[in-house]
Structure 1
Amino acid sequence: MILIMLTVCLLITSGVLLVIWYYYHVKNERYLSQFPGPKPLPLVGNALPFSSAEKIIPAMLEMEKKFGKTFRLYFAIEPNVMMGDSKSLEFLLSSNSIIDKSATYDYFNRWLGTGLLTSTGEKWRKYRKTLTPAFHFQILEQFMDVFNSTTDILIEKLSKNIDKPDVDIYPFIQLCALDVICESSMGTCINAQLESNSKYVKSVKEMARIVIERGFSPIQMFETLYKFTYNYYLELRSLKVLHNFSMGVIQNRKSLLENEKVQDDIDDFGIKKRLTFLDILLKSKVDGKPIPDVCIREEVDTFMFAGHDTTSSAITFTLYCLSNHQEIQQKVIDELKEIYNNDWNRPICYRDLQSMKYLESVIKESLRLYPPVPLIGRQAINDVEYDNKIIPKGTMINVFIYGVHRNPDFFPDPLTFKPDRFKSENTISNQNPYAYIPFSAGTRNCIGQKFAMLEIKATVSKILRHFELFETKPRHQVQLTVESILKSNNGVKMSIRKRKLE
């Protein structure tokens, strides 16, 4: 009897879901059929080719090959339009009205709330304006001591792996980047490189994994069904750790500012203090009122997430490219020799990083081939007209950055690593402004891109001053996967040797 009742309930539920799917599919397909794309299956849409994180990039490249750079997809009942040619990229990324993030970003809400990454509308505009001064060069200059102290630990850790044939560099870089962003955003040390098994470090990794899994799961993308999964339990457990830590730091910092009366930027010795992002938030006002603690926590958590995962990916793949191209690595060393002028072991300073022009080209070319965020999304909150077609309200409008960066129409010989593409004379007149978008573009470009570039330069240059990087034998082939950021499923391996300077 129970089995019969369960069967009936299952059939009724399936029928209801099928009717809902059919209703929304017909409603959206009325407009979206004008775009090419694969035929969706009932309930799951086109989600099957994207069943795991490592299948996302190959599946997207295959879709582009079949249907062109602009096409439509369905994930369950969720309609998506992918944009990747010059016309569509300019349309989307230059828009001041299509600025709402796609529904996938909702999966961050319990963690990041409505911080700068996920918020929209008036709140986003006000907080973007409030936080922009935090990335002024005079503020960024103050983080050189953080770069120096954290990379010193990184060098010590890597020194224990000298002459090993296949060192996976990513775990070392990820922990270093986590130390950097924690100290610069919150003014506190979590010692991720020394305590890699800490609950906080594990919780950050767990949340990043869960978010991307939900985005391509026909079951987990529905909040009601997601709450019955094991990932939901893991999310709640991780959030307790993350939020308790952030709020603890915020309360401690507020107490310090109040008790020691350090509201100004000068200490007792007349020396300018280093302001963390948290300090700036605590000192700032929106609409004439102090920012509530919960909003401060959301912004701090956003910096912690967005500021360590993306730079980890960027640094790792830059090192990978250098290990596979010895002649380019030598050009970077020649530049560093000119900058450090025999004082090879002195600490990093802001002026040094500004002088690393060739290294910057190397980093930009690595970001082209391996963009840390390979896919971004917006959502149409109203019907949108594009190219004499209507994109209906609620449609997700996405940019497959990985595909854009490897488009031969934008970058001749796109699979070859060529830093000279980014010499100033090569980019001023020939570069499509929306063809190179590792930090997105337009209104919602990455607010922290200057900080990120400084951190990448500081870390890569410090490693190269101490070590020679070589490809493995045979060369390690990365298996790219999308886990909120671009990673390699089989690590990013290379050989490390102590650098002998002349």
Structure 2
Amino acid sequence: MTAVLAQAPADSDLRSVPQSNRNGVLEVMRMRRDPFGYSEQRQVQYGPTSALTVFGINMVTASGARAAEQVLMNKDKAFENGPAWSYFIGPFFNRGVMLLDFDEHRHHRHILQQAFTPRALKGYMDELQPMVEKRMQRFPTGDVKLFSEFKELTLDVALEVFLGLELPKAEADKINKAFIETVRAGVAYVRKPLPGGRWWKGLRSRKILEEFFYANIAAKRATQTPDLFSVLCHAESEEGHTFTDEDVVNHMIFVLMAAHDTSTITMTQMAYRMAKSPQWQDKARAQALEFDAHLAYDDLAKLDILDSVLKESLRMCPPVPAQPRMAVKDTEIQGYFIPKGTFVNIPQLTNHRDPEFFTNPDFFDPERFGPDRAEDKAHRFAWTPFGGGVHKCIGLYFGQMEIKTIMHHLLRGYEWSVPADYEIPMDYSALPVPKDKLPVMVRRR
């Protein structure tokens, strides 16, 4: 007899969620080694919704676009972000906007949105352009590890555009390392601050980030400048509410992490796919050469080939591979009984390979996003790299603007390639990154 998470109420038509009896930690390790094979095996054995217990926590994976819609839209307020995300990253990204819920989340998001209006984005574009142009003129050639180059560049962009600061390399490297350690700490197996462990490093790095932002906040409060740091220091809601220093620091740490990590991962995937499919690199480059090097804000929407490559790369490897929630009352997902206190996981990494919605889902095919096919529109939650519902990524337009600008310059100025038999080795233990930093051969055009 198959084990179940909890027996569904006898007076209901709900089914009980099947649960694996295997060691939960070993199951997580299997999933991280091969998330696609693991997901396929689980669905064959248990169906689209199944559970396991790991670290003493009951976790349900609810696969498919329909389950994603039900959980992320959360119409009956049965699920919360905060308790789920806080379990993984709470000590390191305390009270970031993604970790807030309901009225508090709405209040903070309303103030934050002032930093991502079209007017603000155009201001960021003005700040972004000259910096990217300058950096791309001295982009390295020969054997280059693109992931490392992109990460350095996106952190520099985030520091200048979001903070209005240009840091010495040593300090920028220190901040970058702190972000890496805080992200990786969230998936530590040993969730105690043992010296030298991931959890300990994450807590240490959180203090480094806090000290950095608190040291600069007084100057940002004193003078209004176009950067996000200053905007948050001076932003007011219609009711006159403002952020405390603690609010500003919490949001800056979270947004800065999200802004440069997700963009780095996306550009790495785009570069890899265009190296493996050089015909798409050629198509995107030909279109880039139709525009000036210095893009206007309104030009971004016209780069439709690059946009399709971006969307397909996000489909094949979304930077945030899953969306966890916690059930805060007894509820159901697609006819399965979910008891209060259960962690629920929406796995967009594997949802994006669902053959119900995507033709040849393991094949890189940007044309699937064209108007004649529009496979991502077959279900509103088939393609969800930015999440969905009220917690949909607040910085998605900034991220796309930054990515397109950088890739536009890379395409115009350089060509890159990988050996024909090269396959990118991915590390899925935290955010999905290449184990080898994506080594490519870069040539100046």
Same fold (TM over 0.5): yes
Q: Distance in 2 between matches of 1:253 and 1:481?
A: 38
Match of 2:219 among 243, 247, 252: 252
Kindly provide the CA deviation profile for residues 74-108 of structure 1, in whole angstroms up to 9, marking residues without a partner as x.
11321111112233222112224124245343343
Tell me: CA distance 1:146–1:476, structure 2 relative to 1, closer, same or farther (3 Å).
farther
Equivalence map 1:260-271=2 (5 Å): 262=224
What corresponds to 1:39 in structure 2?
Answer: 21
Shift of 1:371: 0.8
What corresponds to 1:3 in structure 2?
Answer: none
What corresponds to 2:333 in structure 1?
Answer: 386
Match of 1:188 among 141, 153, 165: 165
What corresponds to 2:6 in structure 1?
Answer: 29
Kindly provide the CA deviation profile for residues 248-301 of structure 1, in whole angstroms up to 9, marking residues without a partner as x.
12122113x1xxxx5xxxxxxxxxxx6222222122235534321001111111
CA RMSD of aligned residues (A): 2.5
Match of 1:230 among 173, 193, 196: 196
Equivalence map 1:80-95=2 (5 Å): 80-95=59-74
Q: Distance in 2 between matches of 1:496 and 1:475?
A: 17
What corresponds to 2:11 in structure 1?
Answer: none
Tell me: CA distance 1:249–1:283, structure 2 relative to 1, closer, same or farther (3 Å).
same
What corresponds to 2:26 in structure 1?
Answer: 48
Match of 2:428 among 477, 482, 500: 482
Tell whether the 8 Å contact from 1:54 to 1:480 is kept in structure 2 after alignment.
no
Q: Distance in 2 between matches of 1:314 and 1:93?
A: 22
Equivalence map 1:92-103=2 (5 Å): 92-96=71-75, 97=77, 98-103=79-84
AA in 2 matched with 1:176: L
Q: Give yes or no for the alignment of 1:114 onto 2:95.
A: yes
Match of 1:67 among 32, 35, 46: 46
What corresponds to 1:325 in structure 2?
Answer: 277
Match of 2:388 among 437, 441, 449: 441
Q: Give yes or no for the alignment of 1:306 onto 2:258.
A: yes
Tell whether the 8 Å contact from 1:333 to 1:465 is kept in structure 2 after alignment.
yes
Tell whether the 8 Å contact from 2:233 to 2:248 is kept in structure 1 after alignment.
yes
Q: How many residues align?
A: 433
Of the structure 1 ranges 95-104 and 308-317, higher mean CA displacement relative to structure 2 is found in 95-104
Segments of structure 2 that go 5 or more residues without pairing to the other structure are 9-13
Match of 1:207 among 182, 199, 204: 182
Match of 1:77 among 53, 56, 63: 56
What corresponds to 2:235 in structure 1?
Answer: 284
Kindly provide the CA deviation profile for residues 342-395 of structure 1, in whole angstroms up to 9, marking residues without a partner as x.
xxxx42331222221111111001100111111111111111133443211111
Match of 2:289 among 337, 348, 361: 337
Tell me: CA distance 1:63–1:104, structure 2 relative to 1, closer, same or farther (3 Å).
farther
TM-score (norm 1): 0.80
Tell whether the 8 Å contact from 1:102 to 1:377 is kept in structure 2 after alignment.
no
Match of 2:347 among 373, 376, 400: 400
AA in 1 matched with 2:7: R
Segments of structure 1 that go 5 or more residues without pairing to the other structure are 1-25, 221-225, 263-273, 341-345
Shift of 1:112: 2.4
Q: Distance in 1 between matches of 2:63 and 2:399?
A: 25
AA in 2 matched with 1:178: L
SS at match of 1:363: helix
Kindly provide the CA deviation profile for residues 131-167 of structure 1, in whole angstroms up to 9, marking residues without a partner as x.
12321111101122432244235425533x23x3xx3
Q: Distance in 1 between matches of 2:376 and 2:97?
A: 33
Tell whether the 8 Å contact from 1:147 to 1:180 is kept in structure 2 after alignment.
yes
SS at match of 2:358: coil
Give me the identity figure in percent: 23
Shift of 1:29: 2.9
Tell whether the 8 Å contact from 1:106 to 1:118 is kept in structure 2 after alignment.
no
Q: Distance in 1 between matches of 2:283 and 2:26?
A: 45
Tell me: CA distance 1:68–1:488, structure 2 relative to 1, closer, same or farther (3 Å).
farther
AA in 2 matched with 1:51: M
Tell me: CA distance 1:33–1:385, structure 2 relative to 1, closer, same or farther (3 Å).
closer
TM-score (norm 2): 0.90
SS at match of 2:18: coil
Tell me: CA distance 1:102–1:183, structure 2 relative to 1, closer, same or farther (3 Å).
same
**Max radius of gyration: which structure?**
1
